[in-house]
Structure 1
Amino acid sequence: MTGASPIAIEVRLRGAGLRPTRQRVALGDLLFAKGDRHLTVEELHEEAVAAGVPVSLATVYNTLHQFTEAGLIRVLAVESAKTYFDTNVSDHHHFFIEGHNEVLDIPVSNLTIGNLPEPPEGMEIAHVDVVIRLRAKQS
């Protein structure tokens, strides 16, 4: 949803079962306007403040979790202290560049996962998230 208009965001929110409040539309516009990306709550809050969107950090946190529950974004826990929200909800994996706190997508076609364990009775595997940590080569 690159460069989506506020009306397109409203339609997307309604389609996901969310009421398109002013703050949800503004945050959705900031979140989806630049294509697929990975953001923390704090990063989206900084973007909102810079764009003149009057929103608290708690509202950004709650909105991102509502978007996650509605299937619009997904959560990516890379570090115990930092959670990223991914606008690309397709099956894919990630590189994490240590020291830069940068997350990059790995297309699912570039990684094959096999020999997964059988899930417990009555359960099924919903997703497999692979995070490959990178750092600059040390000479």
Structure 2
Amino acid sequence: MMAEASMDVETRLRVCGLRPTRQRIALADLLFAKGDRHLTVEELHEEATSAGVPVSLATVYNTLHQFTEAGMIRVLAVESAKTYFDTNTSDHHHFFVEGRNEVLDIPINNLAIDNLPAPPEGMEIAHVDVIIRLREKKS
């Protein structure tokens, strides 16, 4: 099978079990064209509108959640008011820059997490998300 990064969007959608509709293809093209990134529903909707893709905010929301369920992207709950969607599904953590609402990747090898609690019976840990909040230094 081809590496995920080298697959065209239509093939990637099919491999993930999603029908490659016109809107899914257009949104996936916008989402993955710039490499690993973190976007909100509103930001992707704005990009789609600027690119001439006729799509509603609700469709962008639903499509991002379908991409998440299919394993194409990850949900990143940084703050209660905004949800970011991460195109990098590998194990890694994040910095969140307060005041700028910017999310930056931290490579997994730069952070070690030890002594995790045992999950309840019948459950397993899927992954651990660490978000380190940053702010500008006060002089």
Q: TM-score range by the shorter chain?
A: over 0.9
Quick one: distance in 1 between partners of 2:121 and 2:11?
Answer: 39
Aligned to 2:104: 104
Q: Which amino acid aligns with 2:96?
A: F
Aligned to 2:94: 94
The secondary structure found in structure 2 opposite 1:60 is helix
The secondary structure found in structure 2 opposite 1:85 is strand
Q: Which amino acid aligns with 2:12?
A: R
- What displacement does 1:122 show? 0.6
Q: Which amino acid aligns with 1:50?
A: S
Q: Which amino acid aligns with 1:105?
A: D
Identity value in percent: 82
Aligned to 1:131: 131
Q: Which amino acid aligns with 2:40?
A: T
Aligned to 1:23: 23
The secondary structure found in structure 1 opposite 2:44 is helix
Aligned to 2:37: 37
- What displacement does 1:80 show? 0.5
Structure 1 position 75 matched with structure 2 position 75: yes
For structure 1, the residue ranges without an aligned partner over 5 or more in a row are none
- What displacement does 1:131 show? 0.1
Quick one: distance in 2 between partners of 1:82 and 1:115?
Answer: 30
For structure 2, the residue ranges without an aligned partner over 5 or more in a row are none
- What displacement does 1:99 show? 0.2
The secondary structure found in structure 2 opposite 1:96 is strand
- What displacement does 1:121 show? 0.6
- What displacement does 1:107 show? 0.1
User: Root-mean-square deviation (CA), in Å?
Assistant: 1.2
Query: After the TM superposition, which parts of structure 1 deviate over 6 Å for at least 4 consecutive aligned residues?
Result: none
Quick one: distance in 2 between partners of 1:127 and 1:136?
Answer: 29
Q: How does 1:46-57 map to 2 (within 5 A)?
A: 46-57=46-57
- What displacement does 1:91 show? 0.1
